[in-house]
Amino acid sequence: MSSEEVTRLIEAEVAGDWDRQNAHGCTIRRCLTEPHKLAFTDPLNHDTVDLWLVLEEDSETRNGYKVVYDEINESFGLTITDAHERPVFLGLYGGFLDAYEAM
């Protein structure tokens, strides 16, 4: 899977509603990032999972929630940075907007 393919999945679901805002005050247009793969810790089994990072609640400080895409499960989910500044995978939520609204 490529960055462009992940972007197309998001574009299809957003359907032009780029200024949509969630409960955290994050708009898709402002918080979306170029999809890129990162390793996250899965706290359930302590494994590392490679996921596509697609949106950050705060791209300046890198704090807060992040929306990720799991290409194996074909689902979007959430991660957050723990107290030791390690990215932790929280779980899958289904579609991009499902994960975005779950922040």
Residue 56: predicted pLDDT: 93
**CA distances in angstroms from 98 to 78, 83, 84, listed in the order given:** 10, 26, 27
Helix (H, G, I), strand (E, B) or coil at 56: strand
Residue 41: predicted pLDDT: 77
**Over the stretch 36-94, which tens digit does the pLDDT of each residue have?**
998 887 777 778 889 999 999 877 777 789 999 999 999 999 998 766 667 788 889 99
Residue 51: predicted pLDDT: 93
Question: Global pTM?
Answer: 0.89
> What's the token pair of residue 92?
């899958």
**How many whole angstroms separate alpha carbon 65 and alpha carbon 54?**
11
